[in-house]
Amino acid sequence: PSAQMQWTHYFHNIIGRYLVIIKGWPECIPFTNLSTASSALPDLELLLRLWESGGIFWKKLSEAEYEALCHERDAKLNSGELVKHTQFRQGGQAHMPEDHGSKVKSWIQKC
């Protein structure tokens, strides 16, 4: 697999493209880019143990689950609770991730 974690555009580039989500992330550790966050070594060790033990894992989403996440995200964007990051532009056109099906594509465009 050639997938890479993309924190800034996680919703579009990871959830939307692969229909997967990370489950089990501890609430005590912010879900953010660990390369730029000031994460303490004990936090990083906890994350490693959870990944290795299966406490944190990738969950495959159904179309209905993805749809629900889109609606939840839209509500957070509309309320200002979440700020939408802009996509990288090259030559005046936004570059979106490759999708895996027409239904997914239509939902990515709505999100």
Q: Could you report the per-residue pLDDT of 44-97, keeping only the tens digit for each?
A: 999 999 999 999 999 999 999 999 999 999 898 888 887 775 554 455 554 444
pLDDT category of residue 99 using cuts at 50, 70 and 90: very low
Alpha helices in the chain (DSSP H): 10, 17-18, 41-53, 63-79, 102-110
Number of other CB atoms surrounding residue 23 within 10 Å: 10
- Domain residue spans of the chain: 10-110
Give the global pTM: 0.65
